[in-house]
Structure 1
Amino acid sequence: MKRKNLKALIALGFASTFVLAACGGGASDETADTSGGNTDTSGGSSAEDFSIVMVTDIGGVDDRSFNQSAWEGMQAWGEEHGKEQGTDGYAYIQSDDDSQITTNLNTAVQSNFDLIYGIGFKLQPAMAELAEQNPDQNFVLIDDVIESDNVASVLFKDHEAAFLAGVAAGETTETDRVGFVGGEKSAVIDRFEAGFVAGVEAANPDATVDVQYAGSFGDAAMGKQLAAGMYGNGADIIFHASGDTGNGVFSEAIDRMNAGSDTQLWVIGVDRDQQEQGNYSGGNLTLTSTLKGVGTAVHDIANQTMEGNFPGGQVTNYGLAEGGVGLTEGNLSDDVKTSIDEYRQQIIDGEITVPETPGE
């Protein structure tokens, strides 16, 4: 019997919604084989007792964004295979602070799960070290790369979806001022920022973009403060790529709209459909949301590994062409949706190359 001593395990229930909406079919692989691959399933466990666990990034599985998307994919996998949460099926260990990441990953290893997911680039250093120390344990890293036979790495072309969000903002703004709130500076959030700014510039050269960083993915109060400054300076749309911090952006927009704002304010969500977060007394202020198929990747790699085809040593990159990132319809006008479809196709066809770093 496997040992499942998960001190940080929290049992929460969410709907299983791992398939990207308004984003085409399932994602396919663009792989760079760095190490040759590993087809073992962590000790040869049978499908009946195959188990998976995820260690979250900061924010937890109820962040309504990045971590929650991954957790929903894991729940969907569990439902598909009749697995139970927290026993020999699937589970999560929540990281509330950066200092907990190494401990949580060690807990996952010691608990003998067949497949361990690290949700976010912050887990890369600790997972790289543990992967080297535990060559028979299979790992999956989301949003960064570890070159090892026992690690499957998953990246997303966030800049492509962010570009479409920029087009939406540029064509919708009435003030020609929009904002971007990032969590922490990193290569991942750089992609969001660069794509968004490029999309705004392409759609509306007269618009300006106020870029601010909260320094955290789990500080809703800071998100609210940054949003207050942006809206106060005339911005009418803010795109956040900041995890739980973005809940503060929504909160500020809702408070202003409920107080009778003369300007229609909007928020663009990130990583999953955040439509419900935009509800206020007079309607809904989620303009659209970028979609990131984290849950789909979690689900698909679990199935591959359970079947003996763990993609170790490979880097899988999900973009618009693969259906791995996208944009919801939200409250977009028909004209803006038509424009976004045109830009999307130009990106897929290679007619537009979206920058991955600010200022590129």
Structure 2
Amino acid sequence: MRRVAKLSAACIATAALALSATACGSTSSENDKDSSASAGSGKGIKIGLAFDVGGRGDRSFNDSAARGADKAKSEFGGSIKELTAKNSDTEADREQRLTDLADAGYNPIVGVGFSYATSMGKVAAKYPKVSFGIVDSVVDAKNVDSITFTEEQGSYLAGVAAALKTKKDHVGFIGGVDVPLIKKFEAGYVQGVKDTNSKIKVDTQYLSHGSDLSGFSSPDKGKEAAQGMLDKGADVVYSAAGSSGNGAIEAVNGQKGAWAIGVDSDQYNIPGLSKYKSSILTSMVKNVDVGVYDFIKSVHDSKPLTGTNTYSLAKDGVSLATSGGFIDDIKAKLDAAQKKIVDGDVTVKTTP
């Protein structure tokens, strides 16, 4: 299925950037990876990928972006340079990370996550000939592609699924950080649950607050939060918390009859979560990979995308995964709910 809009993304590597990053010391990232095309190819595209906390391997948001960059590299050749944010990052750290990539000649450069918005605005202005992409935020600049999603719409469907699958009329939502982006997930989920059955109780909990982004990379916190909800009687738990959600899935797997709802990637099919997949009801998939690939392709084709490109439910920008077949029995009701959103009969809230 060809999924819509056109997004941005990516990363690449050279010894020059490695030297630059090393020189910057504390402003560099926890992970600094360089994936290059075969020696002597002489062609391809240099992709700079600035990950959010958790980086490649989070089995969720960052991994989705990585898949898009990997696909582009496979098709167009070249290399990917990956730098990963730390929980302790400041604006100066993020600005330096993007600057290092630009100085080393990477183009395009993708900031994976809303936390790069301010720094990208500054760096893009300094490098007008470089194409930048940002996921989950909007940066008003002529050389930036802002890649956004209607997370609330996909989360609404997750809420409908939860309401139809709960046997205790009690479900939960775990957010990584209480920022506007994650509030969209909560708002859509709760509305979907309540529109399906207003009597269902919905517990909500956030793992960190404000500028503390550790809630996106703390599986132990996710596990503890999910266990607390299960202990109070919830039997379906939806997490929008990056790699912290992996801990929530683990906790749910230990509770007979309980379901976890994954996020961003189809977590049923993630190898690192395979031992828990019997408990993953579905996942609210954000097609970040498609957006990242489309953006890189646009730069490769010398027609770089700019402005705001939104991936909606109508354009398959968000969806519910069907792996495992656990929601096959409620497909008709989910399809009906989706049609109401696409047709405009239901407007999904973006704030709780």
**Please, what TM-score do these two structures have when normalized by structure 1?**
0.82
Separation (CA, whole Å) in 1 of partners of 2:265 and 2:74? 20
**Alpha-carbon deviation of 1:345?**
1.1
Contact in 2 for aligned 1:145/1:315 (Cα 8 Å): yes
> What's the secondary structure of 1:69's corresponding residue?
helix
Matches within 5 A, 1:58-207: 58-83=53-78, 89-99=79-89, 100-207=93-200
Larger fraction in helix: 2
Alignment CA distance shift 1:138-1:12 (3 Å): closer
Alignment CA distance shift 1:246-1:321 (3 Å): same
Separation (CA, whole Å) in 1 of partners of 2:17 and 2:222? 35
Query: Percent identical across equivalent pairs?
Result: 32
**Alpha-carbon deviation of 1:97?**
2.4
Separation (CA, whole Å) in 2 of partners of 1:81 and 1:279? 31
Contact in 2 for aligned 1:142/1:154 (Cα 8 Å): yes
Alignment CA distance shift 1:213-1:12 (3 Å): farther
> What's the secondary structure of 1:64's corresponding residue?
coil
Contact in 1 for aligned 2:267/2:280 (Cα 8 Å): yes
> What's the secondary structure of 1:58's corresponding residue?
coil
> What's the secondary structure of 2:284's corresponding residue?
strand
Identify which range, 238-247 or 97-106, moves more after superposition.
97-106
Number of residue pairs aligned between Structure 1 and Structure 2: 312
Write out per-residue CA displacement over residues 70-95 of structure 1, whole angstroms, 9 at most, x where no aligned residue.
00110011111233xxxxx2221111
Write out per-residue CA displacement over residues 212-233 of structure 1, whole angstroms, 9 at most, x where no aligned residue.
0011101111111111110000
**Alpha-carbon deviation of 1:210?**
0.4
The aligned counterpart of 2:335 is: 341
Alignment CA distance shift 1:71-1:198 (3 Å): same
Separation (CA, whole Å) in 2 of partners of 1:3 and 1:111? 9
Separation (CA, whole Å) in 2 of partners of 1:227 and 1:237? 10
Q: For structure 1, list consecutive stretches of 5 or more residues without a partner in the other structure.
A: 14-46, 84-88
Counterpart residue type for residue 160 of structure 1: Q
Separation (CA, whole Å) in 2 of partners of 1:280 and 1:117? 32
> What's the secondary structure of 1:149's corresponding residue?
coil
Write out per-residue CA displacement over residues 45-104 of structure 1, whole angstroms, 9 at most, x where no aligned residue.
xx9343111100111110000000000110011111233xxxxx2221111324143332
**Please, what TM-score do these two structures have when normalized by structure 2?**
0.84
**Alpha-carbon deviation of 1:290?**
0.6
Matches within 5 A, 1:1-360: 4-6=16-18, 7=21, 8-10=31-33, 48-83=43-78, 89-99=79-89, 100-215=93-208, 216-254=215-253, 256-257=254-255, 261=256, 264-276=257-269, 279-280=274-275, 284-312=278-306, 314-330=307-323, 331-358=325-352
Alignment CA distance shift 1:339-1:208 (3 Å): same
**Alpha-carbon deviation of 1:307?**
1.1
Contact in 2 for aligned 1:168/1:332 (Cα 8 Å): no
Counterpart residue type for residue 116 of structure 1: I
Greater relative CO, 1 or 2 (CA 8 Å, sep 6+): 1
Alignment CA distance shift 1:135-1:233 (3 Å): same
> What's the secondary structure of 2:247's corresponding residue?
helix
Separation (CA, whole Å) in 2 of partners of 1:174 and 1:101? 45
Contact in 2 for aligned 1:191/1:355 (Cα 8 Å): yes
Cα root mean square deviation, aligned: 2.1
> What's the secondary structure of 2:162's corresponding residue?
helix
Q: For structure 2, list consecutive stretches of 5 or more residues without a partner in the other structure.
A: 1-12, 22-30, 37-41, 209-214
**Alpha-carbon deviation of 1:133?**
2.2
Separation (CA, whole Å) in 2 of partners of 1:134 and 1:80? 26
Write out per-residue CA displacement over residues 9-31 of structure 1, whole angstroms, 9 at most, x where no aligned residue.
23689xxxxxxxxxxxxxxxxxx
Contact in 2 for aligned 1:184/1:214 (Cα 8 Å): yes
Separation (CA, whole Å) in 2 of partners of 1:297 and 1:189? 19
Counterpart residue type for residue 230 of structure 1: M
Contact in 2 for aligned 1:279/1:285 (Cα 8 Å): no
The aligned counterpart of 2:211 is: none
Write out per-residue CA displacement over residues 224-269 of structure 1, whole angstroms, 9 at most, x where no aligned residue.
1111110000000100000011111012122x24xxx4xx011000
> What's the secondary structure of 2:243's corresponding residue?
helix
**Alpha-carbon deviation of 1:2?**
6.8
Counterpart residue type for residue 33 of structure 2: I
Contact in 1 for aligned 2:69/2:289 (Cα 8 Å): yes
